[in-house]
Structure 1
């Protein structure tokens, strides 16, 4: 069983989603199925089929979240430190060619959100940065060709 790295924040978000699915969404869809069933012939009952489809999606997501939470390897980023880039690090990098700076936090796959500056530990940029230190350069394969980035700052917060 492969462990899934995630921050405590990401773990809490998945738990919250699971709680909503189990305590709000599941009972709601059961009621909707019951209501649709009362309308008669199920073979031509669009409400019933839509509700069953939604139920299938909800149950699938519940199973997926249960599995991820069971395999979660929760990493407390506040207890990490050092100068090397690892999971949980907030890294400021600069494009070697353009000198544009960007800051990313390396997180688990389910937490990744580029708009919030969070990139997955499995992303090409994160994989290139892992193990680097301030001042090191990392080369990232991009669709337009390889890009080189310099690690400006590594922080664990």
Structure 2
């Protein structure tokens, strides 16, 4: 059978729109800070208004160059277009269900809620500082953890000075909350 009559498969699409990302808890909300929401929205708008039209134009140009089965520009462009469309679908879904929570409303509080920057001491004496954010915005390299992460779950609702139990794959340990801070409210 000629390749012209075979269906082009989307091997990358088999994993779904949010492959590799943590799922939302069943019945849970997709909490996100106003800054995180703005970043995701800006990414979505950039993909739709800038990146996608450029790739569509490149694919259109490559398609006019003849045999598509051996046209690298065309094949790469189609693949990139699928990636962009998958990311657009993902961002649209996540932004639709996002629950924007401003952590600055807790400024001055010593209790841990979403958006808190928490310093805690482990049993070993090591101190760690993490910021509890939404699953779509937390970056571990920046000492940010998702609110559904085990350490965040253990810390939520605790107060400065409390000792909480953290269950990890290597066993349970107690951690002590040393400090809790929130960003200052925006000045008008």
Kept after mapping to 2: 8 A contact 1:113/1:119: yes
Residues 89-144 of structure 1, C-alpha deviations (whole Å, 9 max, x = no match): 11110112x22111111000011112212110011100111121112122222233
Matches of 2:153 and 2:83, distance apart in 1: 32
Is 1:8 aligned to 2:34, yes or no?
yes
Matched, 1:155 2:181: yes
- Match for 1:70 among 96, 101, 113? 96
What is the correspondence of 1:51-66 to structure 2 with a 5 Å cutoff?
51-66=77-92
Moved beyond 4 Å, runs of 4+: none
CA distance in structure 2 between the partners assigned to 1:78 and 1:130 by the alignment? 16
Please give the root-mean-square deviation of Cα atoms over the aligned residues, in Å: 1.6
Q: 1:94 aligns with which of 106, 121, 133?
A: 121
SS in 2 for 1:111: coil
Contact 1:32 1:51 in 2 (8 A): yes
- Structure 1 residue corresponding to 2:76, chosen from 50, 57, 67: 50
Aligned counterparts of 1:86 and 1:61: Cα–Cα separation in 2:
29
Alpha-carbon distance in structure 1 between the residues aligned to 2:173 and 2:41: 37
Structure with more helix by fraction: 1
Deviations 1:64-91 (A, max 9, x none): 1111111111111111243321111111
Partner Cα separation in structure 1 for residue 157 and residue 103 of structure 2: 16
Q: 1:146 to 1:2 in 2, by over 3 A?
A: closer
Pair 1:38-2:64 in alignment: yes
Map of 1:137-152 to 2, 5 A cutoff?
Answer: 137-152=163-178
Q: Distance in 1 between matches of 2:120 and 2:133?
A: 16
Return 5+ residue gaps in structure 1 as ranges: none
Q: Distance in 2 between matches of 1:76 and 1:23?
A: 28
Partner of residue 110 from structure 2, selected from 75, 83, 94: 83
Is 1:110 the counterpart of 2:136? The answer is yes
**SS of corresponding position for 1:133:** coil
Question: Paired residue for 1:29, among 46, 55, 62?
Answer: 55
